[in-house]
Structure 1
Amino acid sequence: MREILRRVVAQFVVDRRVLALAFARMADGIGNSFLIIVIPLYVASDVVGGATFGLEEAMIIGIVLSLFGFLNSSFQPFTGRLSDRIGRRKPFILLGLGGLAATNLAYLFAESYVSLVVIRGLQGVSVAFIVPASIALVNELATTGDRGGNMGVYNTFRLVGFGAGPVAAGAVVNLGPYSIPALTVGPYSLPGLTVSGFEAAFAIAAITAAISYLLVTVLIADPEGTEANAGADLSIAIRDPSGNHLLDPIFTLGVASLFMAASIALLATIQPQVNDRLAQGSTWFGLQFAGFIVAQILLQTPIGRACDRYGRRPFIVGGMLLLIPSTLAQGFVPTSETMFLARLIQGIAGAMVFAPALALAGDLAGEGESGSKLSILTMAFGFGIAVGPLASGALIGYGFATPFVFGAALATLGAILVYTQIEETLETSASVPIVGGD
């Protein structure tokens, strides 16, 4: 038992700054994923009103959720490149977290569809400062022999927060309103308050972003070599410069990440339709949404370590292949339990792609260009998260299974691309040491 525990702990042995950044991203991940569940319920409530511009409720939800991803992804190449030029990561992360905390509080005053769109858009811009700088920092603190493990640990803790948020969000909203009793301290007194479930959820999201800001401020510092290597060639290639393949490998990984993320995010917009079809409540939906995350939390780090030994490509190709049936099945499952199982398998597929793809791109990125190169993957993933809800909101009218058939088709195309366009980056993968291994 002691040996098993030692091996588990060894999986998470990384640079303390990577671990601190992972904990910080876990905190803001809780708040951000809260909103994925809360916003659709908020739009459907009586609190929000105003002009709908002739759009159906599902389409409004899709626009609000998707705008975040579109703006987040659109700005990531610029923020990633700027952080490379300046040679600093920490200021970008702090700027983004500050904006995220402020916009989470702004939801407390939003009472129209237009205001929700504006706030969610500002959040997308804020997160665009966080993601490329964070991934670049992890990449610069790693080496070829442990890059997959570092990416796995970072993603594991980040996803713990992202997975916990949806489960807690449904409960927080449903259990509201909350009564806060009056407080008297000496000559001072504060009146009692009644807080709705929505207000409590938005407050929690703001608090978690503030905690993340504090953690980064105290525990994170830029590597000394980052600024020294600033100003490298930061161009983004589409065609393979070596001529061995049609597409550049990092660009190919970006396209595959977009397709994977779109398949994952199909469920977000159609919460009312899923709940009606399966005769379930928002708590069950939160569990299903988080099922994808649960698998990744359990597998990201061990798969990251394994790809440091056995290579990146086998995991990426295998994950994209597994994504096809796990996405398609969600359009035909008959019960809440089978929907959860399908999401769990989809999470296994995602875990096989995430850390190995980031590690492979990190292997290919030169000194001083981590922000630019890795932002291709994070940008593409963000676009996929935006496209998924928008696509399902538009396609659900053609039948419940239609969005998932679309997602399976994207996953098939992504699998073909990674199989034909990606080569292994580890020369002698079997001999690469693993931290904590034999």
Structure 2
Amino acid sequence: MRQSVTSRVRAAFAVDRRIFALAFARLADGIGNSFLIIVIPLYVASDVVTGETFGLEEAMVIGIILSLYGLLNSLLQPFTGRLSDSRGARKRFIVIGLAGLATTNFLYLFAGSYLSLVVIRALQGVSVAFIVPASVALINELATAGHRGGSMGIYNTFRLVGFGAGPVAAGAVVAAGPYELSLGTPSFTVSGFEMAFLIATVTALVSLAMVSVLISDPERTKATAGGSPSIRITDPRGDNLLNPVITLGIVTLFMMIGIALFATLQNEVNAKLDQGSTWFGLQFAAFIFAQIALQTPVGGASDRIGRRPFILWGMVLLIPTTLAQGVVTTPETMFVARLGQGIAGAMVFAPGLALAGDLAPEGESGTTLSVLTMAFGFGIAIGPLVSGFLVGFGFIVPFAFASLLALVGVVLVATQVDETLDAAVADRPSLAE
């Protein structure tokens, strides 16, 4: 009998079915959550939203609404990750976060003022802060040491598929409204915005149902609960100056700054390359295309070859692919540069999480991995600010600055991070205080 594609992938990576269930669940909520990236700015700019702006311009209000989510999400992750360690409960935290996400998605239907949107988006940031550290910690604990990279790659691939699919459909859903819905005899009309918020709510509920039914915490997670985990900045083993987990967090921050700075330069890129918004959309998406295609195979390869080589050479590749974006002269070469940057990111993401997972002491995956997930979020938030400030000094300047950060990242990985694959199944010294 022929095996299904899913069965062959599971056999190749020896992946626990709960990892696939969690990956599918994050795909579902990723679609709904990324919907809002497109819908919220359109909603704020519509006639539906009114009220006090406290003297701020509409563009600034949109910026605050969008940035609050990422800021609160990133700031709270170390606390929620540590709390999930001390409670020994990953599933409970994911369920709380998804319930909060579904509720806040639904509340957008009743939000008619700028202040209400700010409050709802802030609550969404808090909700996602419960989901992310607990999810990656659960993946880390469900995966065997020799299959951790492949498991992280599968999880990230599905999450990115959901994140990438949402914005593609969101604009079409809003534009196609209003919709006539019928529940038997009564029927009612919903606007394009209301339909988008309903879809986001349903996807979060689907994810919540999948986690509730298909996911369970490993017994060893419960057995190691009750401690007070924390991360030292210096390497407790004395092999290097910095704790390798902290080093990976810094490297992730630098990498994401370089990747995220492209988002706010649409006008400058289009003018320089004499291109339209369609080309910019393709260039922006090229990074995600590479991530989706390579996360799983690269993660699996890091289980065989090692984590450190992929992280190191990924950061090396990040230098020219980032700098090239400041000097290219055609839309096609910008697309290639962004694709190369996506390849570099794929070489760092899953192996980096796997290496940090290898180093995480029993029961402290949430605390350890939250260093990387927090850095990821802060990089996405800082990148656009950096590019907005530096582009005034010249188009190449933000890309050159990000390339310099990547170079520093290469030095940090080369000097402060050791290979963990061979020792992953052996006893290791705690990285916690």
Report the TM-score when normalising by structure 2: 0.87
Aligned to 1:105: 106
Aligned to 1:157: 158
**1:66–1:385 Cα contact (<8 Å) kept:** no
- 2:152 and 2:237 map into 1 onto residues whose CA distance is 27
Shift of 1:208: 1.5
Shift of 1:41: 4.4
- 2:253 and 2:163 map into 1 onto residues whose CA distance is 19
Aligned to 1:74: 75
Mapping of residues 272-311 of structure 1, within 5 Å: 274=269, 278-281=274-277, 284-311=279-306
1:349-391: CA deviation from partner (whole Å, max 9, x where unpaired): 1110111111111111111111111111111111112212333
**2:13–2:147 Cα contact (<8 Å) kept:** no
Confirm or deny that 1:137 pairs with 2:133. no
Aligned to 1:312: 307
Aligned to 1:92: 93
Q: What amino acid is the match of 1:386?
A: A
**1:280–1:336 Cα contact (<8 Å) kept:** no
Shift of 1:305: 1.1
Q: What amino acid is the match of 2:276?
A: Q
Shift of 1:195: 1.7
- Secondary structure of the structure 2 residue equivalent to 1:236: coil
Confirm or deny that 1:189 pairs with 2:191. no
Confirm or deny that 1:379 pairs with 2:380. no
1:104-158: CA deviation from partner (whole Å, max 9, x where unpaired): 2333444554444332222111111001111111111112211111111111111
Confirm or deny that 1:267 pairs with 2:262. yes
Confirm or deny that 1:167 pairs with 2:164. no
Out of 185, 197, 207, which is 2:202 matched to? 207
Confirm or deny that 1:51 pairs with 2:53. yes
Q: What amino acid is the match of 1:304?
A: G
- 1:40 and 1:56 map into 2 onto residues whose CA distance is 10
- 1:360 and 1:324 map into 2 onto residues whose CA distance is 22
Shift of 1:65: 3.0
- 1:344 and 1:162 map into 2 onto residues whose CA distance is 17
- Secondary structure of the structure 1 residue equivalent to 2:186: strand
Aligned to 2:430: none
**1:104–1:205 Cα contact (<8 Å) kept:** yes
Alpha-carbon spacing, 1:94–1:273, altered in 2? closer, same or farther (3 Å) = farther
Aligned to 1:32: 33
**1:311–1:425 Cα contact (<8 Å) kept:** yes
Shift of 1:344: 1.8
Aligned to 1:180: 179
1:302-352: CA deviation from partner (whole Å, max 9, x where unpaired): 111111111110100111111222223334444544443322211111110
- Secondary structure of the structure 2 residue equivalent to 1:427: coil
Aligned to 2:318: 323
- 1:45 and 1:335 map into 2 onto residues whose CA distance is 35
- 2:403 and 2:111 map into 1 onto residues whose CA distance is 36
- 1:18 and 1:355 map into 2 onto residues whose CA distance is 14
Alpha-carbon spacing, 1:260–1:200, altered in 2? closer, same or farther (3 Å) = farther
Shift of 1:7: 6.5
Aligned to 2:387: 392
- 2:181 and 2:228 map into 1 onto residues whose CA distance is 60
**1:68–1:386 Cα contact (<8 Å) kept:** no
Aligned to 1:435: none
1:185-232: CA deviation from partner (whole Å, max 9, x where unpaired): 3xx3213x2523x44333322221111111111111111111111134
Mapping of residues 108-127 of structure 1, within 5 Å: 108-127=109-128
Number of aligned residue pairs: 420
Shift of 1:296: 1.2
Shift of 1:253: 0.4
- Secondary structure of the structure 2 residue equivalent to 1:244: coil
Aligned to 1:433: none
Alpha-carbon spacing, 1:308–1:370, altered in 2? closer, same or farther (3 Å) = same
- Secondary structure of the structure 1 residue equivalent to 2:146: coil
Q: Which runs of 5+ in 1 are unaligned?
A: 430-438
CA-based RMSD: 2.8
- Secondary structure of the structure 2 residue equivalent to 1:181: strand
Alpha-carbon spacing, 1:203–1:20, altered in 2? closer, same or farther (3 Å) = same
1:148-171: CA deviation from partner (whole Å, max 9, x where unpaired): 111111111111111222322344
- 1:395 and 1:108 map into 2 onto residues whose CA distance is 38
Aligned to 1:245: 240
Deviates more, 1:233-242 or 1:339-348: 339-348
